[in-house]
Amino acid sequence: MSVRQKTEKEKTKYILSEREKTHGSFAANAKTYANFVLEMAYIEPGLKVEIIYTDVQRLALAQILLKLARIKQNPKEIDHWKDIAGYAQLVVTDMEL
């Protein structure tokens, strides 16, 4: 392995380590996110409601669910909360067009 490759690998390892401090474990977030997605897709038996999300709503929900997974790991990271508000506002703005 060249010095440059080693340096790049060390940089990547450092960045991932720093992100884990604010975002939590990637594996734990993935599991939480997957559970949230399953909950969103669940419809009560016998409920006669068809849920159709727009593309904007679908993407915003996905991002919000990811932020919720990160909040479960680190609820004190204010940016996660700000991001949720931002994604919700994007949906509101789109719906008001």
Residue 12 CA to residue 3 CA, distance in Å, equals 14
pTM over 0.85: no
- Of the candidates 92, 87, 89, the one whose C-alpha atom is nearest the C-alpha of residue 66 is 87
User: Average pLDDT, stretch 66-79?
Assistant: 94
Taking each helix axis from N to C terminus, what angle separates 55-73 and 3-23, rounded to the nearest 10 degrees?
Answer: 90
User: Average pLDDT, stretch 48-70?
Assistant: 88
pLDDT at 85 > cutoff 80: yes
